[in-house]
Amino acid sequence: MSPPTLAFREGVNVLCCRRSSAESERGATCHNIFQSMPHSEGDGCEFGVDSTTNVVKRASGPMDSLDSEWQGKGATLSDKTAREEFGLTRDEVIRAIRAGKLQYREGCMHGNPWLRLLRREVEALVKKNHGEIYLKDRQAKTELALINRELRRLKAQIAQLEERKSKLITSPGR
């Protein structure tokens, strides 16, 4: 199979799972949707382009429900956050991944690698290894820290507003 080629059809360039045009005629496809290949609606690809708006449309498939879990707000956390929030060690996280108890996705920010984990799986691991009381205690501590942080932020904002108010009162019209 030849490497994917980049070509333009009808001035639209979108993500596609097709390989080169010669291979697509033979029906050869790849499953790497990160290759940028142009196409139009009706060429047999799961992606389609609305010819009037040039908007990419993707047909839903069985993998969508699996990927949607990774995209929900608060559904994932980093391995570092899992260690801080739930009191896990790096070794516990690695052992759970190797045992198949935790799914992960690799990430890299500014050259620093990290693991993204599903929150529900981390909570289930902590509950199994340390008990439900420990899990509830850790969640309460995390929420309390979040509330305290928000209160500090609001107190600083109130102090700033009070200072502006006093300046406006002492020097009206200036």
pLDDT tens profile 3-56: 433 333 344 333 344 444 444 444 444 333 333 444 444 444 444 445 555 444
- Is the pLDDT at 169 greater than 70? The verdict is yes
Residue 169 lies in a domain: no
Gap between the Cα atoms of 140 and 126, Å rounded: 14
Residue 84 lies in a domain: yes
Instruction: Count up the domains in the chain and report the number.
Output: 2
Residue 161 lies in a domain: no
Query: pTM of the full predicted structure?
Result: 0.55
Q: Are residues 82 and 112 in the same domain?
A: yes
Gap between the Cα atoms of 55 and 60, Å rounded: 16
Residue 146 lies in a domain: no
Residue 168 lies in a domain: no
Return the amino acid letter for 147. I
Closest by Cα among 19, 25, 15, 24 to 2: 19
- CA 100-68-105 angle, to 5 degrees, is 40
Tell me the pLDDT tens digit for each residue of 116-159. 999 999 999 999 999 999 999 999 999 999 999 999 999 999 99
Residue 90 lies in a domain: yes
Domain assignment of residue 42, given as a range: 1-57
Q: Are residues 70 and 94 in the same domain?
A: yes
Q: Are residues 53 and 74 in the same domain?
A: no
- Residue 11: predicted pLDDT: 40
- CA 29-61-43 angle, to 5 degrees, is 40
**Four-CA torsion 90, 102, 96, 144, nearest 10 degrees:** 50
The last residue of one of the domains, among 18, 37, 57, is: 57
Alpha helices in the chain (DSSP H): 21-26, 62-71, 79-86, 90-98, 119-130, 132-170
